[in-house]
Structure 1
Amino acid sequence: MQQTVLLLLALVAVSYTFGFFSYTATASPHVRQPKAKNGALKLCPPGGPSFLDAFNLICPMRRRRRSTDLDDGSTLEKTMHKCCEEGCDFSDIFAICNPFG
């Protein structure tokens, strides 16, 4: 009986070593939604009041505008969409702050 249990445990250990029980997931964007980073905030809708409040808190030296159309649209717009879809943290928004530029 003990030999059977030891043999079974050895077989399981060998199986784990060679990856027989490993989970092989197919990476499909249609099945899985991108997970938010730990500590990240989802700020939806892109360019909405929650994003603008976070932007104004993180970039206090920047001139506050009601419209973000005059900013560097491509970078700001990409960041807004990223914050809504994946979530963003301080460093993501701070990267687009340029109070002297």
Structure 2
Amino acid sequence: MAWVYLFFAGLLEIGWAIGLKYTEGFTRLTPTILTVASMIASLALLGLALKTLPVGTAYAVWTGIGTVGTALLGIYLLGEPAATIRLVCIGLIVGGIVGLKLVA
């Protein structure tokens, strides 16, 4: 169950990272509320996952999910560049996440 908590914590990290862009410096109420709620929920789920997973593995996977998801949504939603080298680097992060899952 810890891996499920961690997966959803990572998804919520993507939500708050992208949400920060839409808060426009915390000047828009609804995006700000949703972003802060996503932050709290993400940390709560990470905390639940840490009951049984090693902290180094869980934190690396959590940030990896957030990093990959945020980078991909940045490309898709915000028109950020999708250069080949950028996509290769994102793939390397995914490989690291898979590797950590396999050895934990």
Calculate the TM-score normalised by the size of structure 2. Answer: 0.24
More helix by share: 2
| Higher Rg | 1
Q: What TM-score does the superposition give when structure 1 sets the normalisation length? A: 0.25
